[in-house]
Chain A
Amino acid sequence: MMDATTLSGEAIAAGSLAPARRRLSWLMLSPAVGLLAVWAFVPLAMTLVYSFRRYNLLYPERNGFVGIRNYEYLLSDPSFWTAILNTLVLVLGVLAVTIVLGTVFSLLLNQNFPGRAAARLMVIAPFFVLPPVAALIWKNLLFDPLNGFIAWLLHLAGLPAIAWFTHVPMLALMVIVAWEWTPFATLILLTALQSLDPEQLEAARMDGAGPTNRVIYIVLPHLARPAAITIMMESIFLLSIFAEILTTTAGGPGEATTTLTYLIYIRALLNFDIGGASAAGVLAIVLANIVAFFLMRAVARNLEA
């Protein structure tokens, strides 16, 4: 990464660039910048405008500015708060599980043991599985209360089968999503572990620090920053979990697994309530922006450091 001195040096150099070169440079930048600007601002502005309008695709003639009515409806709607709560449970629960498992897995995989490369690939693999496939494999082959693999394991242990998606739908959903995202945390933390200076560990060992102390006082602090980045990246994706819900529970039973993302999908594409869905969309964007704010700060700091 560039350091502060070269950066300012380049900034000065850029100021004295020949105008022709600068024009060329802008010409090269403009397609990407222009497209992203349109992509980022136009739909956002439209969502904002719709959120202040009464607009249902089923009754297009009843259309007009309603001020903050959509927001009032939404905030007084118990379904909305259920969805917010479900979103928080899903995101925070999966984050906690993936960070803890990711840390343990990365420490295990960072050891020098026979077949290490193969074992790493096996742990990373679930991340590359198509989300609807992951959801359906778990729902049927593993979680099915009659013929599923887990039902059989429980039976062997003398325990009754669990109807996962009826009795503990959110837990079942979290297991699937955590399985998909633990590899992500593991991969990033493992990469970070590999950049740990071995001499530091060696020095600690010479000074008589046991393996446990070396992990607690050297390895874990080294992982703090990558773990923070993992948490922020993951939360952006977890806030948008959709296919897994659609293919397993469709938000149910009742509203047990309806997250904010899924609620907006129901309101917009199943109920055609454009105004209400847009208001919820605006709130989803606000929620994501709070997370993104911290992420961008970390990334920007990294650009400088």
Chain B
Amino acid sequence: MNEQRASLPGTIAAWVVAFLMVFPILWMAITAFKTESEAIAIPPLLLFRPVLSSFAAALAQSGYLHFALNSIIVSLGSTVLAILIAFPAAYAMAFQPGRHTQDLLVWMLSTKMLPPVGVLVPIYLIFRDTGLLDTVEGLVIVDTLMNLPIVVWMLFSFFRDIPRDILEAAHMDGVGPRKQMMHLLLPLASPGIASAALLAIILSWNEAFWSINLTAAHAGTLAAYIARYSAPEGLFWAKLSAASVLAVAPILLFGCLAQRRLVRGLTVGAVK
């Protein structure tokens, strides 16, 4: 907006704030490259010879890769499912809206307002009785349903922004619905689909409540794994940091790539 340059104090304040906010992440990353004794040194070491031994130790930890793989399967699986289910629904609501489309959208969002803990008991019992407890499939189902309203909403709001005239013109020119879909709609909507997918991946990767409560050794994700780190291994700071860096890095990257478009999804379109 105001294109005049910021004042010097303004610039310094902004950079101080940025540094303070990122410091815990930075410190974690630095600690990950230390040895255990360097990690707990007082005064904290800034100059040291970086080593990869903590990463090796974290990766060698029983099951780390197993949990990482679970995280990848659950977040990708639930995202793909959510988009497959949400795409036709958002399409129908955006291009063939009926009298109740708006109510339907608001209702879908309202399901998101249900606090997970309010339904912890029945979900836990259903999972126990159907053998879904501690399975990747179970977690995929929960994450899909958790993210479905947001994905529908995001796709809907992106579809709405596609100019109707283009589709009308194609229709007039005798382009069939399938070709319209493949050659017009998908290319036009793909940025929207991509950002909906990114948000869904981020949310399910970072989802901790259900993965901690519904999984154990078999289907646990990194969120559940790191949460269980808290007791004994919490004492090994370098290893904890290395494991954390590996768990956080991919999502941090995704999040930074998508940050501008995420606002729309996170505020269910109320702020653009």
Contacts and interface: CB of A to CB of B under 8 A. Distances in A.
Contact of A32 (B115, B119, B152): B152
Contact of B121 (A28, A50, A130): A50
B64 interface: no
A287 B44 CA distance: 44
Interface string B98-134: 1101101110111111111111111111100000000
B267 A233 contact: yes
Interface stretch (B165-173, B186-194, B220-228): B220-228
Contacts of A108: 10, 13-14, 17
Contact of A187 (B44, B244, B247, B259): B259
Given A35-B85, A182-B21, A188-B266, A300 B92 contact: no
Nearest to B30: A141
Contacts of B269: 299, 302
B208 to A, nearest CB: 4
Contacts of A35: 85, 145, 148
Q: Which of A128, A147, A284 has the most CB of B within 10 A?
A: A128
B230 A247 contact: yes
B88 to A, nearest CB: 4
Given A141-B24, A179-B21, A296 B106 contact: yes
B16 to A, nearest CB: 9
A212 interface: no
Contacts of A50: 121-122
Nearest to B260: A191
Q: Which of A140, A183, A269 has the most CB of B within 10 A?
A: A140
Q: Which of A50, A133, A226, A274 has the most CB of B within 10 A?
A: A133
B237 interface: yes
Contacts of B255: 124-125, 127-128
Contact of B98 (A14, A142, A229): A14
Interface stretch (A15-23, A61-69, A74-82, A166-174): A15-23
A155 B2 CA distance: 42
Contacts of B14: 108-109, 111, 113, 116, 119
Nearest to A303: B102
A100 interface: no
Q: Which of B10, B43, B110, B222 has the most CB of A within 10 A?
A: B110
A282 interface: yes
Interface string B127-164: 00000000000000000010011001000000010000
Consensus secondary structure, chain B interface: helix
A129 B2 contact: no
Q: How large is the interface on A (under 10, 10 to 19, 20 to 34, 35 or more residues)?
A: 35 or more
A26 B91 CA distance: 11
B217 interface: no
Contact of A132 (B15, B44, B226): B226
A2 B263 CA distance: 19
Contacts of B226: 130, 132-133, 136, 247
B42 interface: yes
Contacts of B119: 43-44, 46-47, 281
Contact of B110 (A111, A193, A292): A292
Given A112-B2, A126-B25, A299 B117 contact: no
Question: Which 5 pairs of residues, A with B, have the shortest CB-CB distance?
Answer: A292-B113, A128-B255, A46-B122, A111-B6, A28-B88
18 contacts: A14-B96, A15-B99, A33-B108, A111-B6, A113-B10, A128-B248, A129-B25, A130-B206, A132-B230, A140-B237, A147-B40, A149-B44, A187-B263, A226-B270, A239-B115, A248-B230, A264-B118, A284-B117
Interface of A: 1-2, 7, 10-11, 14-15, 17, 21-22, 24-29, 31-33, 35-36, 39-40, 42-44, 46-47, 50, 104-105, 108-116, 118-142, 146-147, 149, 151-152, 155, 179, 182-184, 187-188, 191-196, 198, 201, 226, 229-230, 233, 236, 239-240, 242-243, 246-248, 260-261, 264-265, 268-269, 274, 277-278, 281-282, 284-285, 287-289, 291-292, 295-296, 298-300, 302-304
Given A14-B97, A147-B237, A299-B109, 17 more contacts: A17-B96, A25-B92, A43-B122, A112-B3, A113-B11, A119-B15, A120-B259, A123-B21, A125-B252, A139-B234, A141-B241, A147-B40, A201-B2, A240-B115, A264-B118, A274-B121, A296-B110
